Structure 1
Amino acid sequence: MGNVTENAELLQGLSEVYKHVFAFTESLVLRSAVELRIADIIHSNGQPMSLSQIASKIDSSPSINITNLERIMRMLVRKKIFSSSAEPTALYGLTSTSKWLIHDQELSLAPVLLTFTHPTMTTAWYQISPSIKENGTAFEMAHGESFWDMASSNPEFNKLFNDGMASGTKPVLDSIIEGYKDGFSKLEGTLVDVGGALGKVVSKIVEVYPHIKGINFDKPNAFANAPQYPGVIHVGGDMFKEVPSADNVFIKSVLIDWPDEECITILKKCRKAVAEKKGKVIIAEIILHPDRYEMFDDVAISLDLLMMTNFNGGKARTENEWMELLKKVGFTDINIIPLPSIMSIIVCV
């Protein structure tokens, strides 16, 4: 390739390769900060803190390695996850990023980070190339069982995953309720949430729009420990066999888990459920934009690969792929509503 130091383009490429080689350091150092609860410590203090003050609040033995703590904070300040005042005594504060990493608050993504950087999850990524060569699923090749089988048999893993998913729901749900407020305000009668698990999503919709009667629909074991919500009933069943009849259907973050054929089956059941009332099927899902570089587009691409790695046939879809899929179901009136989040609303009639 010639003299790299004399070729600016090659030198830039060299830099980019090294960034990718060590990209894992960013997520795993951030994980260590969440495990040490550094954001919580600063938040509880109410103002920026020195390194020694932070160290004194970390639950550990007296032999805490403050030099190594300083080194991880150096990276996290560089990445704008924490702020730092000028020397000689640096004071570390929260930023708009680290405020999302405080535990035990409604808007916390700390469980999301701990879930998706957990060794059980990351191990599967090492099987991507074998899974491509052998037409397999990386998670199954890594663990000898499917993602859902492990979730069913391993309570610790099931809790890890459910905690991560639950903590990511609140900010998305807020954007759905706000972004589709004109739609929800005009709905009448019953709204069945397909695959609603504990029922948190439909309960929040009903709370904000109490004229709607909510039906949380999932397998009975999915809502076995769910509370009772005002205006919401829990109904057990299998979405591949039948969806309860309702005025309208809502389905969020379900279709991304399944290949096209299964999605068509689910959506036909949804369409049948609202046929008598001529209602809407309202889908909340990611829409991929591979050539666009807006706020959540990189995250969407990563989540598509997460589906590929963990689920047999699960995938995110482009707008064209969604339109093609929905037309196969028989929908003729399809309206896509972008939201200020990673999700979009797709309204089908």
Structure 2
Amino acid sequence: MEPHTGEICAHSMFESEEEELAGQAQAWKYTFAFVESLAVKSVVLLGIPDIIARHGPKATLSLSQIAAELPSEKPDVNCLFRILRFLVAKNFFRAETSGGANEVRYGLTPASKWFVKGGAAAPSVSMIAMLLMQNDVTMMAPWHHFNECVLDGGVAFEKAHGLHLWDYAAAHPDQNCLFNQAMACNANIVMKAILSKYEGFQGLNSLVDVGGGIGATLAEIVKAHPSINGISYDLPHVVAMAPHYPGVKHIGGDMFREVPSADAVFMKWIMHDWEDEDCVKILKQCRKAIPETGKVIIVDTVLNPREKTALDPSMGLVFDLAMIAHTVGGKERSEEEWKNLLKEAGFPRFNIIAIPALQSVIEAFPY
């Protein structure tokens, strides 16, 4: 028997040529997975979904028509064609052939309608801000440090930038603005889903949105339920940028030390930013802020939810990795993990309510 050299013969790992080729196909996809997102980012920055949408939700435009509306006197039409060809193959745009010269005309798909500022898709369902934030070089850099996090621990964002995300945002107003816009983008999407399915805001006279950002989420709730007096509660540098919303009061503070009193506490995409110990601290402050008949309304991902939706459940695992990239100990949780977390914080009873979004509504009760 020949001595083991530590080297692996590639062909010996596959049971057949078919398996080898299928694996190679997947390997190429993983290697260039970033291309789809950045190609979409390029056409969003160029405003191409908006250019098409201005002509109607079912409109199709030729390459020359699209190029004519770009903010450039001499756009590289060949480069544009190749990007659009790729995104048609990925079903981001649709293509139709018409005319004697077989001219290709490009139109919107259900996916690209989410990246229109107005017109064919209402601004409330645009994902532009989230796309631009997640693909920003600052937010992408921590992903390149995952192997270091595995080997020696630490925080990916700090390894990339020398600061935790919240400290970095406080020191960089432009980045803070980008982050807040992305959170407002998510708020619009999720609140549309919540307000269409969740009835738990009825009967409330006051509601505090902990980690409420610039108040976009709470403004939607108060608009739908005018009897609610809303308090948007976040760090001072965040609320300093908050616009005025009818029925919403902005308060700056630290949720680890205090939460303003209200009938109920609302937290959207907050718990997943923190490790279990920190979540318990936050929840205990929320417990102090509500009466015995009150509740905490959490909007967050539940991994492997019982009720399935049309959305890919594996996206919860994607967001779980995003928590490694951008937070200190944050993670997505299963129903059992939520149960244990809430019980430790003084909430023995809870409900999980499915909504048409990646997140679920988790109602927690102190009795």
TM above 0.5, yes or no, is yes
Q: Which amino acid aligns with 2:18?
A: A
Pair 225,118 (structure 1): closer, same or farther in 2 beyond 3 Å: closer
Among residues 80, 84, 94, which one is paired with 2:108 in the alignment?
94
Aligned to 1:148: 166
CA distance in 2, matches of 1:108, 1:341: 14
1:17 paired with 2:30, answer no
Q: What CA deviation, in whole Å up to 9, does each residue of 1:16-54 have, x standing for no partner?
A: 111111111111111111111111111123321101111
Shift of 1:74: 1.0
Task: Output aligned runs, 1:103-182, within 5 Å.
Answer: 103=117, 105-181=123-199
| Residue 196 of structure 2 corresponds to residue 184 of structure 1 | no
Q: Does 1:285 align with 2:280?
A: no
* Residue number in structure 2 paired with 1:37: 47
Cα 1:130/1:172, change in 2 over 3 Å: same
Q: Which amino acid in structure 2 is aligned with residue 184 of structure 1?
A: F
- May I ask how many residue pairs the two structures share in their alignment? 345
Q: 1: distance between equivalents of 2:189 and 2:228?
A: 22
Task: Using the TM superposition, give the Cα deviation of residue 190 of structure 1 relative to its aligned residue in structure 2, in angstroms.
Answer: 1.5
Q: How does 1:267-282 map to 2 (within 5 A)?
A: 267-274=283-290, 276-282=291-297
Check whether the contact 2:188–2:216 (CA below 8 A) recurs between aligned residues: no
**Structure 2, unpaired ranges of 5+:** 1-10
Q: How does 1:228-307 map to 2 (within 5 A)?
A: 228-274=244-290, 276-289=291-304, 295-307=311-323
Shift of 1:293: 9.1
Q: Matched residue of 2:258: which SS?
A: coil
CA distance in 1, matches of 2:168, 2:140: 15
SS in 1 for 2:301: strand
Distance in 1 separating the partners of 2:309 and 2:356? 15
Quote the offset at 1:101 in angstroms: 0.8
* Contact 1:247 1:277 (8 Å CA) reproduced: no
Alignment of 1:74-89 (within 5 A): 74-86=85-97, 88-89=102-103
Which AA in structure 2 matches 1:22? Answer: F
Contact 1:290 1:301 in 2 (8 A): no
Per-residue CA deviations over 1:104-152 (Å, capped at 9, x if unaligned) read 5332111211111111111211111012111011111112222112211
Task: Tell me by how many angstroms 1:277 deviates.
Answer: 4.3
RMSD between superposed Cα atoms in Å:
2.1
- Deviation, 1:309, is 0.9
SS of the aligned residue for 1:10 comes to helix
Counterpart CA distance in 1 for 2:196 and 2:55 is 33
- Quote the Cα distance in structure 1 between the aligned partners of 2:330 and 2:353: 23
Matching residue of 2:7? none
More helix by share: 1
Tell me the distance in 1 between the aligned counterparts of 2:72 and 2:36.
Answer: 23
Structure 2 SS opposite 1:90: strand
Query: Deviation of residue 307 (structure 1)?
Result: 0.9
Q: The residue matched to 2:97 in structure 1 has which SS?
A: coil
CA contact (8 A) 2:302 2:335 kept: yes
- Kindly tell me: are residues 279 and 336 of structure 1, through their superposed partners in 2, closer, same or farther at Cα, counting changes over 3 Å? same
Amino acid at match of 1:289: N
SS of residue in 2 equivalent to 1:106? helix
The 5 A counterparts of 1:50-69 are 50-62=62-74, 64-69=75-80
Quickly say closer, same or farther: Cα 1:50–1:199, change in 2 above 3 A.
same
Q: TM-score, normalised by structure 2?
A: 0.88
Q: Report SS of the residue matched to 1:233.
A: strand
Give the Å deviation of 1:6.
4.9
Structure 1 residues 135 and 45, CA, compared in 2 at 3 Å: closer, same or farther? same
| Structure 1, unpaired ranges of 5+ | none
| Cα deviation 1:206-231 (Å, max 9, x = unaligned) | 21112222222223332223233333
Quote how far apart the aligned CAs of 1:99 are. 0.9
Instruction: List structure 1 segments (4+ residues) > 6 angstroms apart after TM superposition.
Output: 290-293
> Are the aligned partners of 2:183 and 2:213 in contact in 1 as well (CA < 8 Å)?
no
In the superposition, relative to structure 1, how do residues 319 and 199 fare at CA in structure 2: closer, same or farther (>3 Å)?
same
